[in-house]
């Protein structure tokens, strides 16, 4: 099967890889504990939405639309960080798991902030 992912953008690559990790984490959790499915679905939704919005930004209609889509991705990354903290603080994620996921999420937040700033600077 041919892979059609774009390889030129570090933001595309990292956001997609994070979505894959979040999905695998969700599948692992729901196999073991269905009682918290609502929370697991929230982190799945927000964590995969980052990549969806980054990819959607590629075909934005204008620079402001591009920045807006990246801003939505940033808000989703921030929400995901909240859910990761909750999962960690309730001992669902181990320290090691949390540190790994939080590091990736924080990297995405930094990339998104930098990208948004660059777009705004270049269009003023």
Tell me the whole-structure pTM to 2 decimals: 0.90
**Using H for helix, E for strand and C for coil, what is the string for the chain?**
CCCCCCCCCHHHHHHHHHHHHHHHHHHHHHHHCHHHHHHHHHHHHHHHHHHHHHHHHCCCCCHHHHHHHHHHHHHHHHHHHHHHHHHHHCCCCCHHHHHHHHHHHHHHHHHHHHHHHHHHHHCC
Distance CA 117, CA 103 (A): 21
- Residue 66, number of CB atoms within 10 A of its CB: 19
Q: What is the pLDDT of residues 51-62, one digit of tens each?
A: 999 999 989 999
CB 66 within 8 A of CB 119: yes
Would you say residue 77 has pLDDT above 60? yes
Instruction: Please give the Cα distance from 33 to 121 (Å, whole number).
Output: 46
1-49 residue pLDDT tens: 334 455 578 999 999 999 999 999 998 886 667 788 889 999 999 999 9
């Amino acid at each position: 099967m041919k892979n059609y992912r774009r390889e030129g953008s570090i933001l595309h690559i990292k956001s997609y890889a994070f979505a894959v990790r979040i999905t695998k984490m969700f599948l692992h959790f729901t196999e073991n504990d269905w009682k918290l499915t609502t929370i697991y679905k929230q982190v799945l939704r927000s964590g995969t939405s980052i990549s969806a919005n980054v990819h959607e930004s590629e075909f934005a209609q204008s620079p402001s639309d591009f920045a807006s889509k990246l801003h939505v991705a940033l808000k989703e990354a921030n929400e995901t960080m909240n859910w990761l903290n909750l999962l960690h603080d309730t001992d669902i994620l181990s320290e090691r798991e949390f540190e790994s996921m939080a590091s990736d999420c924080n990297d995405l937040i930094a990339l998104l902030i930098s990208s948004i700033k660059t777009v705004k600077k270049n269009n003023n």
